[in-house]
Structure formats: C-alpha cells, structure tokens
Amino acid sequence: MIYFPFVVGAVGSIIFLVLLSRLSSGARRGSRRGESFDPEWFETFSAFRYLPMRRLLNGNDEAYLQGQNLGCRMSLRAFRAERRQLFRIYLEDLRSDFYRLSLGAKQAILNSADDHSHHVETLLSLEWRFQKTLWRAKAGLVLHACGWSVSDASDLIDVLQHFEFSLREAYLAQNESAV
Amino acid sequence: MLDRAIHAVIALGCLPLLWIFYLVLVREIHGKCLARFPGIAKVGQQVLVYGLVGAIILSVVTVQPDLHAENHDGALGVLYVTAAHRVITGGVTLFLLLLTVILNWFPVPTSNNTILHTTFSFFFFLSMTVAHLYRNLSGKMFTSGVNLGIMAVSTICLAGWGFLLQPKGEVVVATESTPHEETSWILAQMEALNRALLRGVK
C-alpha cells in the first residue's frame, strides 16, 4: 500500500510521456506515414482498391487449390501464411487511408469560422466504429493463423467506402459549382 | 517566531486560494489549446467543463484510502485538508492527461511554449498528488520528506517555467494542413454523414 502512490506516479508519467512524444513528433493519427489530407490525393483515392481483401481469408481459393490437388499440406500452410501477410499489408494501408480522410475532416472543422462541434461527435463515432471492425479483422487474422477460416474484411471496406462516398459526393458537387 | 498554530491556520487557509489559482492555470492551458478555434468552440467548452468535473469526481472517488489510512497520526483537520488538496491536484492531473489525449486525436496546432507549460504543469500536479497521497497513507513522520520532495519538484518546475518558456516558443508551428477553402466542402457533407450514422445506430 505504501508504494501505491509511486506506482500511480510512474504509470501517469509513462502515459503522459508517450502521449507527449507522439504530440512532439507530429505522429498523430492519420499522419503516421507523414501523409496529410490533400484534394489531389483524394482525387486518385478509391476504396475499391481494397476489394481483393474480401477473398484473401475466406477460404475459397484454398478450397480450389485443394480441389486441384496441386499442393501438399506444407504448401497449403505457406499459401495461408502468404494470404495473411497480404491481408496485413492491405489492412495497414486501409487504416492509414481511413485516418487520412478523417484528418481532412478534422482540419476542415478546425479551420472553419463557424462552430461544427457536432461533427466532432460524428467523426468520433465513425472512428470508433472503424476501430472496432479493425480489431475484429486483427482477431480474425489470429484465428486464421490457428487454422480457422474467418470472415472477410467487408465491414471495414464498407466503413471506408461509406466515408469516401460521402466526401466524394460533396467534392464533386463543389467542383461542378466551381465550373 | 510565528506560533505553530497560527502558521498552520495561515498555511491551510491559503490552500483554497491556491486551488482557485490551479483552476485558473488549467483554464489558461485549455484556452491555449482548444478555445482558439471557433470550429470546435462548443466541444472545447464541453471538454473543459465535463472533463474537469469528471476528473475531480474520479479523484474524489479515490479519496477513501487517504481518509482511512491506519498509519495516520496527525490532526483530523490537517488530514481532511491534505486529502482535499490531493483531490484537487489529482483532478487537475487527470484533466491535463485528458487534454493531451485530445491533442493527440485532434490536429490542433500548438506552440512549443504551450507544450512545455502543459508538461511542467502535469509533472507539478502529479508530484503533488503522489506526495500528498504518500503522506496521507504513511503518516506524519514522513511529512518533512514529502515537503522536501514537493519543494524540489516545485523548484525544478519553476526553473523550467522561468528559463525554458521563451518568446520564440510562442510561435504556433502549424501542422501540415490543407487551406480552409480546399477542405470546406468536407463540412458540407459531414452533415449528411452525421445523419447516415445516426440512422445506422438506430
């Protein structure tokens, strides 16, 4: 009990220093790879690029491979590992793109002369929904490594597409009015 | 030489004034971080009010060990006042932690001085909280050591405030951002997104 205050102090200090180092390095969410939101990037961006994720872990290709009798047991394991590796790469890019879109929305809110506080709540709930599906996808990867076939990344792609399409609609409308 | 009883009354009587100054300091840090932006005016205000009240409530909830420590052998009045002091400093510490979390989430441009000021304030209040908690739990015999510790940390923080906060540190280094006119269209669609999300929740 006597050491409890020092434990509180040490834990508090560590949490604060971690947050501070992230703040100082500018490594906030959405710009982890030094990428900020810009309209040029948004013009070329499409959530459709993540559609292949839908079939990476769902087992159809494995079943096909087994049906063709091309690989031994070992190569099937390697095949599954490779699919997981690909899925992880896609997942990291998808996460990065989502937070890049989110960063754009946050900057727009921050730069606005009018109060848009209710949009902060919207973003918060959207990010929370995305984060939950991201955790589910990561848990799915672990299950896949244990030999289970798991659901695909449809939920994640849906959230990203929903966000992208919403922004795209306004972006196109603005461009049309500018023309 | 000042009578011990009079000294105690003055020292304890000044504490509420100190608490008010602590809250003013928190208000100032909040103003430097969130209150500058009209786009998040309401949410910034909510963070200050709900965040601070919530942090102090959380701190109050954890006050039981201070009040029921077995080793405590001091006067009851002193115990209550030091426990209250611990609650206030603990609440302020938690609030500063919350503010740092928000700054990590939202790309608010902050000056170097603001970051330094927040850092010194955090460690100042954290050390006060830890020291008072330790004193309340372990009893009067550790008062001198605890006071010495508080004085040492306070001196370090004062030196930091005095020497490290500089005029050039006031310059707000803008994070890499897109001009307002290029992102204003996003706001137009956030409303629709908001409605869609609400529908999704229902």
Domain spans, chain A: 1-30, 32-178
Choose the weakest-confidence range: A107-116, A156-165, B3-12, B57-66: A156-165
Choose the weakest-confidence range: A35-39, A141-145, B113-117: A35-39
- Please give the residue that has the higher pLDDT: either A45 or B28: B28
- Please give the residue that has the higher pLDDT: either B55 or A38: B55
Q: What's the whole-number average pLDDT of chain B?
A: 82
Q: Is residue B74 scored above 70 in pLDDT?
A: no
CB contact A113 to B (< 8 Å): yes
Stretch B138-156: mean pLDDT: 85
B94: pLDDT confidence band, cut at 50, 70 and 90?
very high
CB interface of A with B, residues 136-175, below 8 Å: 162-163, 166-167, 169-171, 173-174
For an interface test with B, which of A14, A109, A132, A176 has the most B Cβ atoms less than 10 Å from its Cβ? A109
CB contact B104 to A (< 8 Å): yes
As a whole number of angstroms, the distance between CA A100 and CA A106 comes to 10
CB contact A117 to B (< 8 Å): yes
Taking CA–CA distances from B122, the nearest residue in chain A reads A16
Choose the weakest-confidence range: A5-9, A40-44, B110-114: A40-44
Residues of A in contact with B129 (CB under 8 A): 5, 8-9
As a whole number of angstroms, the distance between CA B184 and CA A17 comes to 34
Model-level ipTM above the cut of 0.90: no
Q: Report the Cα–Cα distance between both ends of chain B, in Å, rounded.
A: 71
Q: Is residue B9 scored above 50 in pLDDT?
A: yes
Q: Which two tokens stand for residue B76?
A: 């009851």
Choose the weakest-confidence range: A112-121, B30-39, B112-121: A112-121
As a whole number of angstroms, the distance between CA B73 and CA B78 comes to 10
Q: What's the whole-number average pLDDT of chain A?
A: 77
Q: Is residue B124 scored above 70 in pLDDT?
A: yes
Q: Is A24 left (phi over 0), alpha (psi -120 to 50) or beta?
A: alpha
Choose the weakest-confidence range: A79-88, A123-132, B135-144, B151-160: B135-144
CB contact B21 to A (< 8 Å): no
pLDDT, residue B123, reads: 94
What is the least distance, in Å, from the CA of A59 to any CA of chain B? Answer: 30
What is the least distance, in Å, from the CA of A37 to any CA of chain B? Answer: 7
Q: Is residue A109 scored above 90 in pLDDT?
A: no
Inter-chain residue contact B138 with A2, CB threshold 8 Å: yes
What are the tens digits of pLDDT across the range A125-170? 888 888 888 888 888 888 888 877 666 667 777 777 777 776 666 5
What is the least distance, in Å, from the CA of A134 to any CA of chain B? Answer: 17
CB atoms within 10 A of CB B27: 13
A31: pLDDT confidence band, cut at 50, 70 and 90?
very low
Inter-chain residue contact A162 with B196, CB threshold 8 Å: yes
What is the least distance, in Å, from the CA of A45 to any CA of chain B? Answer: 15
DSSP chain B: ---HHHHHHHHHHHHHHHHHHHHHHHHHHHHHHTTT-GGGHHHHHHIIIIIHHHHHHHHHHTTHHHHT-TT--S-HHHHHHHHHHHHHHHHHHHHHHHHHHHHHHS----BHHHHHHHHHHHHHHHHHHHHHHHHHHH-GGGHHHHHHHHHHHHHHHHHHHHHH--GGGGSB---S---HHHHHHHHHHHHHHHHHHHHHH-
pLDDT, residue A78, reads: 83
Stretch A6-26: mean pLDDT: 87
A73: pLDDT confidence band, cut at 50, 70 and 90?
low
Q: Is residue A33 scored above 80 in pLDDT?
A: no
Most confident of A35-39, B60-64, B154-158: B154-158
Percent of chain B whose pLDDT exceeds 70: 81
What are the tens digits of pLDDT across the range A55-69? 777 777 777 777 776
Residue type, B63: V
CB contact A86 to B (< 8 Å): no
Query: In degrees rounded to 5, what are phi and psi of residue A28?
Result: -85, 165
Percent of chain A whose pLDDT exceeds 90: 6
- Please give the residue that has the higher pLDDT: either A168 or A173: A168
Inter-chain residue contact A169 with B192, CB threshold 8 Å: yes
Contact A23, B115 (CB under 8 A): yes
pLDDT, residue B200, reads: 44
What are the tens digits of pLDDT across the range B169-201? 888 765 545 555 555 566 655 655 555 555 544
Inter-chain residue contact A4 with B46, CB threshold 8 Å: no
What is the least distance, in Å, from the CA of B182 to any CA of chain A? Answer: 7
Domain spans, chain B: 4-175
As a whole number of angstroms, the distance between CA B118 and CA B114 comes to 6
Residues 6 or more apart in contact with residue A43 via CB below 8 angstroms: none
A15: pLDDT confidence band, cut at 50, 70 and 90?
very high
CB interface of A with B, residues 28-57, below 8 Å: 28-31, 36-39
